[in-house]
Amino acid sequence: MEWLMGNTVLYMSMSLDGYIAGPNETDVNGLGDGGGRLHEWVFPPEGGVNSRIVEEFMATGAVVAGRGTFEPAEGWHGDHHDGVPIWVLSRRAIPGWASDMSAVHYTNDIEAAFREARDAASGKDVLVHGAATAQRALAAGLLDQIEIHLIPVLLGEGRRLFEHLGSQHRELERLRVLAGEGDVTHLRYRIHY
């Protein structure tokens, strides 16, 4: 592996025109119209590049996600993978339906969420979910790496990943480029603040 474990890593599927969800995104249409196309690569046959990438993000030791990602996914029923702890960034209290999920921690303190997730991950990477969470983490200098799963589709409109970042310039160091099955390209970068 070209990098050491223990990083906070945003894994995000994105259309070639920069969208991570299609238009008309709602709680019941979490990926927006046509947004499901961005995640078809996640369900590959055994073996191959796509399977390797799925194995990598399913080997992370903790998750930090935004409420807008966590709640439409029904909190992954309290277990994103392997029982790892999940920090959810939200200004609201934990909803009743998630209050019995022992691995789930709601907070609005992004620095505490990332610090606690790193500690809980015990040297493994921390999986970061959600555009707003990624934008806040970038602004706070808390995101170490970005892995973009570039999908060969033009959605035309929807939600963009790299909005609301401000004017601060950030250099990215390419760590790898992998051609996956179904024409997806996996791009991994280290962020230099």
pLDDT in tens, 122-181: 999 999 999 999 999 999 999 999 999 999 999 999 999 888 776 778 899 999 999 999
Tokens 């399977």 label which residue? 51
Cα dihedral 179, 64, 24, 157 sign: negative
Give the pTM: 0.90
How many Å apart are CA 133 and CA 88, to the nearest integer? 9
Mean predicted lDDT score pLDDT of the chain: 92
**Confidence at 1, pLDDT banded by 50, 70, 90:** very low
Burial tier of 154 (Cβ tally within 10 Å: 0-12, 13-18, 19+): exposed
- At 132, list the tokens: 């707003």
Give CA–CA dist 173/39, Å, rounded: 25
- Confidence grade of residue 4 (pLDDT, cut at 50, 70, 90): low
DSSP 5: S
Which helix (H) or strand (E) element contains residue 67?
A: helix 67-70
CB 65 within 8 A of CB 130: yes
